[in-house]
Chains A and B, each alone.
Chain A
C-alpha cells in the first residue's frame, strides 16, 4: 500500500492539522517509508491470534455514584485561553 500526497492532505484534515506544501511532501515520503517498513508484519500469519489491546486482565472499575470533592469552577477554568461568565468561550459554532 502506498500513500499519496492527496491521502496525506485528507489525513491531515481528519487530524485537524493544516500542513504546508513542504510538510505534505516530507510526510508523504516519510509515512511511506514507515508504512512500507510496517508491511513486514504481513510476513506473519495471525489468522488464529487474538489481538492484545492491553497487557493486564482489566475489568471495569465501578463505584457508588456519590458526591466527592472535585475541582472548583475557578480551578477548572484556570488554563482556559478565553472565558466569560464562568464558561469557556469559543467562536460561534452556528451561523446567525
Chain B
C-alpha cells in the first residue's frame, strides 16, 4: 500500500495538519517507483532531483504559513507528449529521444501554479498511436493487475502509475480513447473533457480535431479536483473554448434522482464480452436504485465510427508529423543530401505503427482519394455527431462499457492492426463528436478491472462527474494494489 493510494483530499488534510510534509510525499512516490516500476514500466523518466528540490521549496512555504491549494505537493505523472520545461518530452518516440522541452504546456503551467510536483514523464504509445502501449519506442508498460496483460493505450503509463500508487494522479491525452481505455484496463478513473475545455498548448499534436488532455485519478472526486485546475480558456490555443468553468467539486452531491440515462443498444451488443456486459448491467441497477431512469437508446451510425476514426485521425497525423524531419529538433540521421536526410531520419526514427498511420493518412489525403476517403469520413462524422445530439435531446447521460473486453494479453493483437483498432469501438465515437466522457471502475471479471463509460453533452462535465460520483458511492470498489510482494 502507498500513501498515494489515499484520496487527494485526505492527503491534503494530513499536509495541512503537518502530519506529513511535501518531502514525505515525494519520497513516498520515489520509493514506490523504485519498488514497483521495474515491473510496471510506467515511467520513461523520473526527475528525482527536480522533485526533491520542488518538495523542499514547497515545504518552506508551508512552514512560512502559506495557504496551499488542494493539489499542493501532490506527486504527479505527466504523459510524455506534454511539454515540461527542462525535462525530456519524447512522445514515446526514438525520434525525440534527446528532445528537451523549452517551455511548459499550459496544463503543466496550471498544475505548477496549483503547487503540484512533477515526478516524471509517463510511458506511452509512440506519438499516442496505440491501444496497448506496445508501440512505445522504448519499452512497453505492463498492467499492474496482471503484468502479462497490456495496460491499454496510449496513456497506459499514466493509468498504470496511478493504479500502482506511484503518483497521486496523472495527466493523459485522449484522441480516440487514450485516457478512458487505459483507465478501464487499469481500474482507475479517466476523464476526457469536451473538445476545447482544456488547453492543448504544449501537447504534441496527433490528430488536432480530436486530441484532448484529461486527468487519470484514483477516484471521481480527485478527477473533479484535477479538472478544476486544468480547465479554462487559453489564448495560446485557438481551439480552446471560452466558456465559464463551474465548480466541479461542489457539483458532487451524489443526488441523481430523475436523471435520464440512455444505454445505446449498439454498445451492449454481440461484440461485448458477456462478463463486461454483466458488470455494466449491475452498474445500471445501482444507478436505478438511486432514482435514475435508464432506457435503451440507439446510436445508429456507431458501426461506422471505427472506420471513420481510422481515416480521419491518420490523415491529420500524417500532416502533423510532417514536422519531424531532423532539421530543427529531434534525432537526425545524416544523408547524402537534404532529401535523403529527411528519409533516413523519419524511416529510422518512427516505429511501425506510426509509419503505418502516416502511410494511411498520406494515401487518403492524396490526389484522387481525398473525396472517397477523407471527405466521406468527415460527412459520416456529422452523422455520428447527430446521433448523439438526438439522444441528448431526451437524455442527460449515455452509459455503456468503455471497452468490449477486459485488458488483453501482451502480444495478442500486435500483428493485426485492424483487430487492435476494433478495441476502440466504444470510445472513438465520443472523440468524433467532441463530447466529454469518463471511464470509472465497475468491478472485475477474472480479477481484471472493467470500465463503465459515461458520456454527456458538450461542457456537461459537472453532471458527468456527479453521475460517476453517485455510482462510485454505491457501486463496486476495487482493492488497492500492493505489488511489492515479488512477482505478480
Taking beta carbons and an 8 Å cutoff, which residues of A are in contact with B?
Answer: 1, 3, 7-8, 11-12, 14-19, 23, 27, 30-31, 33-35, 37-38, 40-44, 46, 49-56, 58, 61, 71, 75-76, 78-82, 88, 90-93
**Which residues does chain B contribute within 8 Å of A90, judged by CB atoms?**
327, 338, 341
**Which residues does chain A contribute within 8 Å of B221, judged by CB atoms?**
none
Asked whether, in the complex, the Cβ of B102 is within 8 Å of the Cβ of A44, the reply is no
User: Which listed segment binds A: B7-15, B107-115, B161-169, B328-336?
Assistant: B328-336
Q: Is the interface of B mostly helix, strand, loop or mixed?
A: helix
Taking beta carbons and an 8 Å cutoff, which residues of B are in contact with A?
Answer: 98-100, 102-103, 195-196, 209, 235, 238-239, 241, 301, 303-304, 306-308, 310-311, 318, 322, 325-332, 334-339, 341-344, 346-347, 350, 352, 355-356, 358-360, 362-363, 366, 369, 372-373, 375-383, 385, 417-418, 421, 432-434, 458
A75 touching B307 in the complex, CB below 8 Å, given contacts A14-B362, A34-B417, A51-B375:
no
Asked whether, in the complex, the Cβ of A40 is within 8 Å of the Cβ of B307, the reply is yes
Asked whether, in the complex, the Cβ of B380 is within 8 Å of the Cβ of A15, the reply is no
13 more A-B contacts (CB under 8 A) besides A1-B369, A46-B383, A80-B327? A11-B363, A15-B358, A16-B322, A16-B346, A17-B350, A27-B356, A34-B360, A34-B418, A35-B373, A50-B379, A51-B378, A54-B209, A55-B433
CA distance A53 to B308 in the complex (A): 12
Asked whether, in the complex, the Cβ of B338 is within 8 Å of the Cβ of A52, the reply is no
CA distance A47 to B99 in the complex (A): 46
B303, closest chain A residue (CB): A40
Which of A43, A80, A91 interacts with B338 by CB under 8 Å?
A91
Asked whether, in the complex, the Cβ of B328 is within 8 Å of the Cβ of A79, the reply is yes
A91 touching B341 in the complex, CB below 8 Å, given contacts A51-B381, A80-B329:
yes
CA distance A81 to B417 in the complex (A): 33
**Which residues does chain A contribute within 8 Å of B343, judged by CB atoms?**
16-18
